[in-house]
Amino acid sequence: TLQLTLAVIKPDAVAHPIMSEAVHEKILSNNFLIIRSKELEWKATDSQRFYCEHKGRFFYQRLVEFMSSGPMRAYILAHENAIQLWRDLMGPTKVFRARITASETIRGSLGLTDTRNTTHGSDSVESACREMAFFFPEFSTSQWYQDL
Ligand code: CMP
């Protein structure tokens, strides 16, 4: 059965069309259904709200600044086991680990630093729900699952 997840191409990759196109290709070649997609740009306050769970971590300030530094592309994707599949395709958060142990993943091949790491993906059903509502407030996930 299909599951929804939120995927985001971050500002570092959107700034370089060759990178964002490579990520888009990954989405298509892994047979995700693109349910919604849009380009958007955050203000610092959006970034702070989205990453409030990381407030106080040493990387919080640079993360907030980076995520409001330019346009992003957000997707609602559907696939069997979509949350885990997208996370596997992204690879580890830390670019050093991604490069060494998962060089064929998105972050392993395109990630620049632990902050500028190309993509985001929800890590659980609960965060997917929250994050889809954050990026696509007009989209009803419960309605979508009902209509399946
Ligand atoms: P993301 O999957 O969007 O979730 C939280 C983000 O915080 C993460 O990707 C990185 O961009 C950033 N992040 C996580 N850990 C670190 C770290 N150790 N150093 C810098 N940035 C980090």
What is the ipTM metric for this complex?
A: 0.92
Q: Assess whether the C-beta atom of 87 lies below 6 angstroms from ligand 1.
A: no
Is 78 a member of any domain? Answer: yes
pLDDT, residue 67, reads: 98
Distance (angstroms) between ligand 1 centre and the Cα of 63 equals 7
Count of structural domains, the chain:
1
Distance (angstroms) between ligand 1 centre and the Cα of 115 equals 5
In this structure, how many other beta carbons lie within 10 angstroms of the beta carbon of residue 65? Answer: 12
Give catalytic residue positions.
120
pTM for the full predicted model: 0.96
Of 89, 10, 110, nearest in space to 50 by CA:
10
Is 55 a member of any domain? Answer: no
Is 95 a member of any domain? Answer: yes
pLDDT, residue 24, reads: 98
Is 121 a member of any domain? Answer: yes
pLDDT digits (tens, 9 = 90+) for 69-82: 999 999 999 999 99
Instruction: Report the CATH number that the domain containing residue 121 is assigned in CATH.
Output: 3.30.70.141
pLDDT, residue 138, reads: 98
pLDDT digits (tens, 9 = 90+) for 108-125: 999 999 999 999 999 999
pLDDT, residue 19, reads: 98
Listed in sequence order, the DSSP H helices in the chain are 11-14, 17-29, 44-50, 60-67, 82-90, 95-101, 106-110, 125-135, 141-147
Structural domain of residue 12, as residue ranges?
2-40+72-142
Residue numbers in the known binding site for ATP are 10, 59, 87, 93, 107, 117
Q: Assess whether the C-beta atom of 116 lies below 6 angstroms from ligand 1.
A: no
Is 63 a member of any domain? Answer: no
Length of the chain: 148
pLDDT, residue 93, reads: 94
Q: Which residues of the chain have pLDDT under 50?
A: none
Is 58 a member of any domain? Answer: no
Is 64 a member of any domain? Answer: no
pLDDT, residue 128, reads: 98
